[in-house]
Amino acid sequence: MDKPEEIASSDQNAKKLFIFTEFNRDRNACNELVDILTKCDQEHAAKELEQYNQSTTPIVYSSDVEIKVKNADTLRSGGSRLFVMSGNPRGRALVFLQLDELKKEADRFDHIFQQLYFSVDIYVNYSCDQILDTLKKTSQQEFKMDALIVMFIGHGHNGIIQGSGHGQDEIHIKTLVDQFDERNCRYYITKPKIFLFSCCQTIDIQDVRHSAEWEWMDDTTRTYIFHAWAQVRPLTTLYLRLQVFSHCIANYACDYNLTQIFNKTCEELNQADIPERPELKMKTVFRDLYFNPGLF
């Protein structure tokens, strides 16, 4: 039987290992630790850690639909700091595609989401009423999986998306997100909800604002909203954004949480001189979300 002092020593070592591991998941924090080790005359350890912290391999972009998602080595799920993301299936993804020219991009996301253990439904050329009805029905169904993704690819402007219906078929993203707020939906209160709005404006829209208003998110909980409107060369810009985002998920979901994937996407877009930086808004998100590809 272990002696009390041996157990205490073992617990302390476990704590040190946990702290060291958590500290080095972030590249900047890892660099800080390299500096600390160097100042403490631990040059060998500093060099070893610096080698570990080398830059990630640049993304090789492909027009293929079936790109491989890299598997994670560590399951990051549950507890006070992380959303539970370990189920199989892990979640549900609803993809609304309004532009036939971008079907290939929607199919690529379908392939990626399935590798993240999400069941995927793609809805093509839906009117705003049909989109709203689909989300209402979804919000009222019992949900035992870990997370929900709602993705829209189509025309939009100033926080408004356009459906395929006749006339001025438009709806504010607030109306869609509100279907899953605390007042309207009890099944998703504790679940992370991810809304991805990738839109290009039509030529005749005036007074375009590329930063949405977010005061309406009062009753929204555990919600991520990715919001991107393309202004210049609309379809080309939208295509490139979707391609970059899909490849960032495939390459970095193994190690990065959702906000880090978004930041990496913005970094890649900036390097490619793609205009109009996307926005990420979060409401009552107090945990990190890791997709944990390959693990459950």
Q: For residue range 66-124, what is the model confidence (pLDDT) as tens digits?
A: 999 999 999 999 999 999 999 999 999 999 999 999 999 999 999 999 999 999 999 99
- Classify residue 215: in a domain, yes or no: yes
Report residue 25's pLDDT band, with 50, 70 and 90 as the boundaries: low
- Classify residue 134: in a domain, yes or no: yes
- Classify residue 133: in a domain, yes or no: yes
* 123 lies in the same domain as 27: no
* 269 lies in the same domain as 131: yes
* 31 lies in the same domain as 175: no
Q: How many domains does the chain have?
A: 2
* 22 lies in the same domain as 152: no
List the single range of 98-107, 178-187, 227-236 with lowest mean pLDDT: 227-236
Name residues whose C-beta falls within 8 Å of residue 124's C-beta, 6 or more positions apart in sequence.
97, 98, 100, 103
- Classify residue 85: in a domain, yes or no: no
What is the predicted pLDDT for the residue at 38? 81
What's the CATH number where 130 sits? 3.40.50.1460
What is the predicted pLDDT for the residue at 7? 45
What is the predicted pLDDT for the residue at 237? 81
Under a CB-based contact definition with an 8 Å cutoff, are residues 121 and 114 in contact?
no
Average pLDDT score over the chain: 84
More confident residue, 229 or 265: 265
Report residue 54's pLDDT band, with 50, 70 and 90 as the boundaries: low
- Classify residue 260: in a domain, yes or no: yes
Domain range for 254? 91-283
- Classify residue 76: in a domain, yes or no: no
* 95 lies in the same domain as 48: no
Average pLDDT in the 214-242 region? 76
What is the predicted pLDDT for the residue at 234? 55
* 173 lies in the same domain as 263: yes
* 116 lies in the same domain as 45: no
- Classify residue 174: in a domain, yes or no: yes
* 118 lies in the same domain as 244: yes
What is the predicted pLDDT for the residue at 29? 66
List the single range of 3-17, 21-35, 104-118, 161-175 with lowest mean pLDDT: 3-17
Average pLDDT in the 50-67 region? 78
* 100 lies in the same domain as 243: yes
* 30 lies in the same domain as 105: no
- Classify residue 106: in a domain, yes or no: yes
* 30 lies in the same domain as 160: no
Average pLDDT in the 47-58 region? 66
* 262 lies in the same domain as 152: yes
Average pLDDT in the 251-274 region? 91
Which pLDDT tens digit goes with each residue over 125-144? 999 999 999 999 999 999 99
pTM of the model: 0.80
Q: Is the pLDDT of residue 231 over 90?
A: no
What is the predicted pLDDT for the residue at 293? 97
Q: Is the pLDDT of residue 12 over 80?
A: no
